[in-house]
A and B are shown apart, each in its own frame.
Chain A
Amino acid sequence: MYEELGASRTRRTVTATTRLMRALHLDGMLLSGLAAISCFGLFVLYSAAGDNTALWLSQLARFGIGIAVMVAIAQVPDHFLRMAAPAAYVLGLLLLVLVAVAGDVGKGAQRWLDIGVVRFQPSELMKLAVPMMCAWYLHQRPLPPSARDVIAVAFMVMVPVLLIAEQPDLGTALLVAAAGFLVLVLGGLSPAYLLAGVAVVGAAVPVAWNLMRDYQRQRVLTLLDPQSDALGAGYHIIQSQIAIGSGGIFGKGWTNGSQAQLEFLPERSTDFIFAVVGEELGLLGLVALLGAYLFVVGRGLYMANQCRDAFTRLMSGSIALTFFVYAFVNAGMVTGLLPVVGVPLPLVSYGGSSLVTLLAGFGILMSLHSSRKLLGP
């Protein structure tokens, strides 16, 4: 009934654009949300890049590549994606091992694999391959998942996560873990398991503390008291809070943020670009951006609910919610609510790999969603 109403309304408002969208397996609403965030992101990045126009242009080019990838993946039929899931997962796992053995070191972490023309991060592939594998595994089994399935999925998630965390890339590890874990939650993971999981995590804190590298421990300590190391590890957090706080309700104006423009704000075009939004566009800018994220997540969840089978549903829902986790973790760390874990602000931060991965994910979401329409009632 619900679906019929939506379908009939769609039929009534068919235009040339919607016809093209449908032909390309794209979702207009989701696309507008993504476009709004992307344009907002490019707008802010232009300011955050300062005089470095080349940086902005290269980000623009990456958007071009990302959109092409998204549109291309949207054309891939859902059963092909389902078939490819285990292969992609195994390939990703092998590459992660390869990186650990023979990867390039960049910024003190070993996460790059040089394959001739492009340097490639297998961890990016895992952001999509892990939830896909989990969804693939669960869709063959009755839901809510049995204890055995939960353990199997947890294992599937934790192996690549630990490999990534060991690189070390805490941010990506966190996102990959979230993507897999969200598949379980959406699949109907019993609240009892959730509580058990929380308990396990709580118990794991001291263990994790011992396993953490010094800089990671420092980040946690600095989060608790940024002033303790104002010129060292706390500098990022202090400066980003000054930037946001001094922005006020309306902001200092585009390209007028002194914290950002005078380079007091570190990583202003990458991980800390959220602070540039806060400083230059104020509380209104921040709320508008967060609202746009919420819209994309909501639309993604809505689309996931329209899917016709467990695999597409779980995969779509995981992609939508992981996007939220991305935005929340970044905004949380920049505003000083969470430790600095090195997660970029989706579609806004400068950087190629994560952008392409994100858009590829939305390509999958659209592909899965459009499959429903092609085979639907």
Chain B
Amino acid sequence: MRRVRIKDENLEQRIFLQRSLIAAAVAIALLLVLSGRAFWLQVLRHDHFSELSQGNRARIEPLPPNRGIIYDRAGRVVAENTPSYQLEFVREQAGDLDQMLARLTQFGLLERDDVPRVRRLVLSRRAFEAVPIRLQLDQEEIANYAVHRHELPGVMLETRMARHYPYGTLGSHALGYVSTISEDDLVRVDKERYFGTGVIGKTGIERAYQDELLGAGGYREVLVNAEGRSVIALGGQAGQLRSRAPRAGHDLRLTLDIELQRVAVEAMAGRRGAVVALDPSSGDVLVLASLPGFDPNGFARGISRRDYLALTEDPDQPLFNRVLSGTYPPGSTIKPFMALAGLEYDVVAPENTVYCPGHFSLPNSRHRFRDWKRQGHGTVDMHNAVMQSCDVYFYRLANTLGIERIHEAMNRIGFGAPTGIDIGGERGGIMPSPQWKKTVFKQREQQVWFPGETVILGIGQGYWTATPLQLANATALLAMRGQHFRPRLIRALIEPVTGAVEERAPQALPPVELKDRANWEVIVDAMVAVTTGPRGTAVRASRGATYSIAGKTGTAQVFSVGQTEKYDESKVAERLRDHALFIAFAPAEAPRLVISVLVENGGHGSSAAAPVARAVFDAYLAHGAG
């Protein structure tokens, strides 16, 4: 039976009150849970979330350091940082992208071929980001931009610091250049220090002293919103943003004299080759010119692929540093060293004479080693042999000395090993020996050392190669009568903030001691005779000099002439002509400057190379520079 229920107001009110109280209790309990959750988030985990929030709002912006300035010997700036102008594009401000790019092309600010690349570049970045679309604008382009600025919303002219070499090509091989950091570079550098730095030294001083020049990058935190757009700090938002100031790199004071370098380069008159000048009393490199040079500014401002290919494919190899990396047969320039070795090993005395009929043959051999002078030099002693550059005398001397002693002596003078100059890329050349031949040649029959190979070393031919720097270095040793310094390009480092100068002392190497010190003078006298004697090979180049020059000419064969042929300069293709060499120091009695000159395919050392050295000597000694 179904019970009939009627409404009971009191009961209902009681139930309602009871249920209300339960509901209120549940509500309070739930609010406590919420408060507990808030407590957990805001008190217990506060540090964790604070850090996340900081990471959200701050973006780290790099502050690039100022690269050190490079001064030459006299304090002239040879590498500096100058503002460069670039065009930046902000898509969201530009309206229609294609129309804007068309306008830029029309105003001569963008190459038509470049449009698709720039379009992709701009579209790959966020709409509010400033994307650099053109680097290093020239004056005309800046003027063009200024005139049309009102038609180019979203296109801005920005200033950035860029490396600038005021002397252009003049110092290119000594200074080297900076260029965009490559992936290969990134492997070997500390990325934090390079934060914000776009370039790195690639060659020369810029590379060797990259660490000192760089300094260290700084950073600052910039407030950003969720889109990554940087925002102007509002009120308390600006607080607690961290930053670290960048540290500028060290300035460098070079041993190089850029004006003397100019003299050398001008004296080369557009020919290919190398000129090195050293102060023999310290190893200071005053001139380091490899020709042709290149404009390092092109690399610093971002070289185009086309321009880079033009440089690498140029048959004159402008990027090749002939001074350090060019290995050439030294030719007759090594005759003074060979004579010195003869004296030191006591196989010859200065007054011993040799009859030169114009050729030399080994016993039991019909092969004739020819003298450059077909009719011969007649009877010559050491002095005359050096002065006239008699080949036969030195064929005989080399044969008497033998390969082992030649090798040992020339090694002590520095041939066959890098000089250790303080920039990279140097090669050691070859100072051959039977041992060397065994390691280089694979086939047994090629590993044999032939007596004839010793003979031609006497005139600096055969396997022997040396760099122009090695020749200068060896000449400096001669000039200093055995004292020896490592060649260097850096004299001092300057701390840019305090101005503190850290001088680098010249690096003396173990001196070469002779059994009889008088032998130095025998050789030096003969070298003075080269420029002053009655039949000296460099007399013309030193006529009228107010100081005494000790020198030696050299001519290095590029291709060999047959036994019966006569070498005819005018008929040989320019590229196959001999290299002209000249080594010298002056004043002979108290040397202040050592020079080594190489003119590729220049012909004779006396006519092509010696006048270059003369011009440099004149500039340095006659005007009392240095």
Interface on A for B, CB 8 Å cutoff?
A: 141-144, 146, 182, 185-188, 239, 241-249, 252-253, 255-256, 258-259, 261-264, 278, 282-283, 286-287, 290, 293-294, 297-298, 301, 304-305, 309-310, 313-314, 317, 321, 324, 328, 331-332, 335-337
Known A245-B46, A262-B57: A255·B235 in contact at CB below 8 Å: yes
Question: B5, A248: Cβ atoms under 8 Å?
Answer: no
Which of B45, B52, B54 neighbours the largest number of chain A CB atoms within 10 Å of its CB?
B52
Cβ of B45 to closest chain A Cβ, rounded Å: 5
* Other contacts beyond A245-B48, A253-B236, A335-B38: 20, CB < 8 A: A142-B5, A187-B16, A188-B16, A239-B56, A244-B41, A244-B42, A245-B41, A245-B52, A246-B50, A249-B43, A256-B235, A261-B237, A262-B57, A264-B53, A301-B23, A317-B23, A321-B27, A328-B31, A335-B34, A337-B37
B residues in contact with A259, CB < 8 Å: 53, 56-57
Instruction: Report B229-243 CB contacts with A as 1/0, cut-off 8 Å.
Output: 001001111000000
B residues in contact with A286, CB < 8 Å: 35, 38, 42
A residues in contact with B17, CB < 8 Å: 305
A residues in contact with B35, CB < 8 Å: 286-287, 290
Question: B38, A283: Cβ atoms under 8 Å?
Answer: yes
Chain B positions 11-39 with a Cβ under 8 Å from a chain A Cβ? 11-13, 15-17, 19-20, 23-24, 27-28, 30-31, 33-35, 37-39
Question: B53, A248: Cβ atoms under 8 Å?
Answer: no
Residue ID in chain B nearest A328 by CB atoms:
B30
Cβ of B48 to closest chain A Cβ, rounded Å: 7
| Bound complex: CA A187 to CA B226 (Å) | 49
B residues in contact with A249, CB < 8 Å: 42-43, 46
| Bound complex: CA A234 to CA B5 (Å) | 53
Question: A258, B42: Cβ atoms under 8 Å?
Answer: no
Which of the residues B23, B34, B43, B237 comes within 8 Å of A332, measured between beta carbons?
B34
Question: B234, A261: Cβ atoms under 8 Å?
Answer: yes
| Bound complex: CA A301 to CA B16 (Å) | 10
Cβ of A314 to closest chain B Cβ, rounded Å: 8
Cβ of A357 to closest chain B Cβ, rounded Å: 21
13 A-B pairs with C-beta separation under 8 A:
A239-B56, A245-B48, A245-B53, A246-B53, A253-B236, A256-B236, A262-B57, A262-B226, A264-B226, A286-B38, A301-B20, A301-B24, A305-B20
> Is residue B379 within 8 Å, beta carbon to beta carbon, of the partner chain?
no
Question: A245, B45: Cβ atoms under 8 Å?
Answer: yes
Question: A258, B19: Cβ atoms under 8 Å?
Answer: no
Residue ID in chain A nearest B4 by CB atoms:
A142
Residue ID in chain B nearest A298 by CB atoms:
B24
B residues in contact with A255, CB < 8 Å: 234-235
Residue ID in chain A nearest B237 by CB atoms:
A258
| Bound complex: CA A255 to CA B52 (Å) | 19
| Bound complex: CA A331 to CA B13 (Å) | 32
Known A185-B23, A186-B16, A188-B19: A241·B49 in contact at CB below 8 Å: yes
| Bound complex: CA A294 to CA B35 (Å) | 12
Question: B27, A258: Cβ atoms under 8 Å?
Answer: no
| Bound complex: CA A335 to CA B37 (Å) | 7
Question: A258, B12: Cβ atoms under 8 Å?
Answer: no
| Bound complex: CA A259 to CA B56 (Å) | 8
- Report, nearest first, the 7 A-B pairs whose CB atoms are least far apart: A245-B49, A246-B53, A256-B236, A262-B225, A142-B5, A258-B57, A188-B15
Known A143-B7, A244-B41, A253-B236: A258·B23 in contact at CB below 8 Å: no
Question: B34, A248: Cβ atoms under 8 Å?
Answer: no
B residues in contact with A146, CB < 8 Å: 5
Question: A248, B43: Cβ atoms under 8 Å?
Answer: yes
Residue ID in chain A nearest B42 by CB atoms:
A283
Which of the residues B16, B41, B56, B236 comes within 8 Å of A304, measured between beta carbons?
B16
B residues in contact with A258, CB < 8 Å: 53, 56-57, 223, 237
> Is residue B140 within 8 Å, beta carbon to beta carbon, of the partner chain?
no
| Bound complex: CA A297 to CA B24 (Å) | 8
Question: B34, A331: Cβ atoms under 8 Å?
Answer: yes
A residues in contact with B96, CB < 8 Å: none
> Is residue B8 within 8 Å, beta carbon to beta carbon, of the partner chain?
yes
A residues in contact with B24, CB < 8 Å: 297-298, 301
Which of the residues A142, A182, A287 comes within 8 Å of B38, measured between beta carbons?
A287
| Bound complex: CA A246 to CA B49 (Å) | 5
Question: A186, B56: Cβ atoms under 8 Å?
Answer: no
Which of the residues B19, B28, B42, B52 comes within 8 Å of A282, measured between beta carbons?
B42
> Is residue B351 within 8 Å, beta carbon to beta carbon, of the partner chain?
no
| Bound complex: CA A247 to CA B47 (Å) | 10
| Bound complex: CA A144 to CA B14 (Å) | 11
Cβ of A320 to closest chain B Cβ, rounded Å: 9
| Bound complex: CA A321 to CA B52 (Å) | 36
A residues in contact with B30, CB < 8 Å: 328
Which of the residues B42, B48, B224 comes within 8 Å of A247, measured between beta carbons?
B42
Known A301-B20, A332-B34: A142·B42 in contact at CB below 8 Å: no
Residue ID in chain A nearest B231 by CB atoms:
A262
Instruction: Report B90-116 CB contacts with A as 1/0, cut-off 8 Å.
Output: 000000000000000000000000000
